Amino acid sequence: MLVLLPAISLVFLFLTFRSRDNCWRSSLISAVIVWGLLLTAITEVLSLGRLLTLEWLVRAWILIGSTIAFIYFRTARKNGKYTNSALDSSEAKLPLPSILLLCSIGFIIAMVGLVALIAPPNNWDSMSYRMPRVVHWIQNHSVAHYPTSYLPQLYQKPWSEFTIMHLQILSGGDYFANLVQWFSMIGSVIGVSLIAKQLGADLRGQISSAVVCATIPMGILQASSTQGDYVVSFWLVCFVCCVLSAVQESKAAGVNSFLTGTSLGLAFFAKATSYIYAFPFFIWLLISLAKRYKWRFWKPVFKIAALVFLINVSHEIRNVDLFGQVLASGREKYTNDIFNASVLLSNIIRNVCLHVYMPIRIGKDLIVELVRFIHKFLSVSVSDPRTTWPNSEFEVPALADLFHEDSAPNTIHLLAIAGTVILLMKEKILRTEKLTLYFICLISNFLLFCLILKWQPWHSRLHLPLFVLLSAFIGTILSNALAHRIIQSKVFYALASILIVSSLPWVFCNQTRPLVSKFETIASPNKYVNIFNTSRVDQYFVNRKYLKNSYVEVASLINASDCSKVGLSITRNEWEYPMWMLLQRDTQKQYRIEQVDVENVSAKKNQVYPHKDFTPCSTITVQRFNGGKLPEDIKVKAEIDR
């Protein structure tokens, strides 16, 4: 399977670019949107009867697959054809440079896919809430809320984990968990090329958009993880494709309303940042529909809103039942406490600086001092607690942040964005109405993000959807510049080559899942550490190595006992998932694991089935001492009833 990855990636990419029209890519996007809706529906319906089991999931997918196959072949037979004649009759011969660019994209995607398959989930969020919620759901056969000390396991948007849960139940392990983000990367690369096509880019512009998207450092790092930012990027790409189709009336109104509402609903269901990123494009859609349908524009808008509501309503009902409100959150406040021009400008500067990496210390210090100097005139502290995440200080990326999926900067892509914006402003001939409106939506996205959300040191990963959508803008500008001979083909291919070559360190030297070696050990030939020579257990703890020995020791004690009902007494934001994996290595036992000593609002779930009947015969306690600032401040112990 690993050997086939490069071939599969290349074939997939060549198929999407071989046709002169956008039929193939558009059909692919539409099919995935329908699949995402079906997965959500299966999960929610089976969850109502606590039927999220291997047997019922297999039945559901076989039924759906058989139904779709029946409808397809019946329709094809009725039409007298089984092949896509549009695709067969419109094959485009790709020039050699374009073929080389596609091969490069395929290579990047294949290598990232290799990492995603071999390495286990190991980023902080995966260990503390993303993967724990998956194993709790599997154990409970339901996605209903349960007692937990870490509330993001409950209130955070769940679509990514829904998909991981399906893969985990069907495969019997977490070996395919990272592929959800990887497939989202592939879908985004194809989707942005379609957006570029809709914006007026030629074949080279569409391929260059794909190159820009595939080489985003943060995207490369995240695509082999269980973070959710590439998933929401993909659904936003689908939504924007549907908006552009509505603007140019390239699809039937009813079909497009269905796809628009579904993709928007899935984006909202994947991550809350989608509310910000989707809003300007939704306004564009409303204006377009109002111009076309006049007072009757409420009909397609109602269809879209209804689909968004239906997709998200079950999760929000669970939140209202437990937290008393929709869009529930923890005790931290994500939004700014004050809103004014100074705050906006402050957050713009600080968010941009997250992508400004300076390889020399003096350059980094100059940027920090410049930002502090500007903030003096703004009368806002550079780390004002009203606009900054608690206990965070403003900083620009350091070497330690360069290859980490929580903080990697997209410096070269930031320069590419700046260059294309300058080109757009300088050359009036490059501006089209649709491209200008698209750019206005992207700028509005960033401004809303800065105005609403407190600055965080790891905001660069939340910027991924914006960089993905900007890939289509960059590709279209380059395409138009080539068409009007503003830049030469040699310059175009040189820029694409720079992006591809510069992305390779992030492909091979992922700090938490290195394909070749961890960055800090490259200079030490005797200390190569990568995903091939590191055990799966060690990789779970790669971000917190000091926890491994105590976790393994405690899990061994439980495995050696006769106890199969384990209570976890764990403080908020601690690593729960590795303990599940260590305990479940003992295949002779069927463990039931529940959190105990829960003191927050979710403790009321202890009074409902199946939690009310749970009495542990052993308890694992994870405690922090002295404020938990040092590795030795975290203690793990087990108490076993004899």
pLDDT tens profile 427-444: 888 888 999 999 999 999
Q: Is the pLDDT of residue 524 over 50?
A: no
Per the structure block, which two tokens stand in for 518?
A: 């961890």
Query: What are the residues whose beta carbons fall under 8 Å from the beta carbon of 102, sequence distance 6 or more?
Result: 10, 13, 14, 17, 94, 207, 210
Q: Is the pLDDT of residue 275 over 80?
A: yes
Q: Is the pLDDT of residue 114 over 80?
A: yes
Tell me what the mean pLDDT of segment 418-429 comes to.
91
Q: Give me the residue spans of the domains in the chain.
A: 341-486, 543-640
Q: Is the pLDDT of residue 1 over 90?
A: no
pLDDT score at 2: 46
Query: What are the residues whose beta carbons fall under 8 Å from the beta carbon of 576, sequence distance 6 or more?
Result: 127, 128, 132, 150, 568, 570, 595
Q: Give the span between the Cα atoms of 601 and 35, in whole angstroms.
A: 35
The Cα-based distances of 283 to 82, 214, 280, 289, 441 in angstroms read: 40, 28, 5, 10, 9
pLDDT score at 4: 47
Q: Give the span between the Cα atoms of 573 and 125, in whole angstroms.
A: 8
Q: Is the pLDDT of residue 88 over 70?
A: no
What are the helix and strand counts (H, E) for the chain?
26, 4
pLDDT score at 226: 95
- Tell me what percent of the residues of the chain surpass a pLDDT of 70: 89
pLDDT score at 539: 93
- Tell me what percent of the residues of the chain surpass a pLDDT of 90: 64
Q: Give the span between the Cα atoms of 131 and 428, in whole angstroms.
A: 50
The Cα-based distances of 231 to 29, 421, 465 in angstroms read: 14, 27, 9
Per the structure block, which two tokens stand in for 160?
A: 């990514």
Per the DSSP assignment, residues forming a β-bridge with 621 are: 569, 637
Name the pairing type of β-strands 618-624 and 592-595: unpaired
Tell me what the mean pLDDT of segment 522-541 comes to.
78
Q: Is the pLDDT of residue 521 over 50?
A: no
Q: Is the pLDDT of residue 413 over 60?
A: yes
Q: Give the span between the Cα atoms of 178 and 131, in whole angstroms.
A: 11
Element (H, E) at 470: helix 464-483
pLDDT tens profile 609-635: 999 889 899 999 887 765 555 555 677
- Residue 177 — very low, low, confident or very high, per pLDDT cuts 50/70/90? very high
Check if the beta carbon of residue 223 is closer than 8 Å to that of residue 181. Answer: yes
Closest CA to 141 of 41, 51, 63: 51
Of 120-134, 223-237, 241-255, 479-493, where does mean pLDDT reach its minimum?
Answer: 241-255
Check if the beta carbon of residue 396 is closer than 8 Å to that of residue 414. Answer: no
pLDDT score at 400: 83
Give the number of other CB atoms < 10 A from CB of residue 308.
Answer: 22
Of 410-419, 448-457, 478-487, where does mean pLDDT reach its minimum?
Answer: 478-487
Q: Look up residue 24 and give its amino acid.
A: W
Q: Give the span between the Cα atoms of 230 and 217, in whole angstroms.
A: 12
Per the structure block, which two tokens stand in for 144?
A: 């209903």
The Cα-based distances of 594 to 146, 149, 165, 365, 565 in angstroms read: 9, 11, 18, 48, 8
Higher pLDDT, 391 or 85: 391
Q: Give the span between the Cα atoms of 194 and 19, in whole angstroms.
A: 12
Q: Is the pLDDT of residue 403 over 90?
A: yes
| Ordered strands of the 634-640 beta sheet | 592-595, 565-570, 618-624, 634-640
**Full DSSP string of 58-118:** HHHHHHHHHHHHHHHHHHHHHHT-SS-HHHHHTB-PPPHHHHHHHHHHHHHHHHHHHHHHH
Q: Is the pLDDT of residue 486 over 90?
A: no
Per the structure block, which two tokens stand in for 546?
A: 């000091």
pLDDT tens profile 581-591: 999 887 778 89
pLDDT score at 76: 62
Higher pLDDT, 98 or 17: 98
Check if the beta carbon of residue 620 is closer than 8 Å to that of residue 554. Answer: yes
Mean pLDDT of the chain: 88
pLDDT score at 584: 87
pLDDT score at 443: 97
Higher pLDDT, 271 or 9: 271
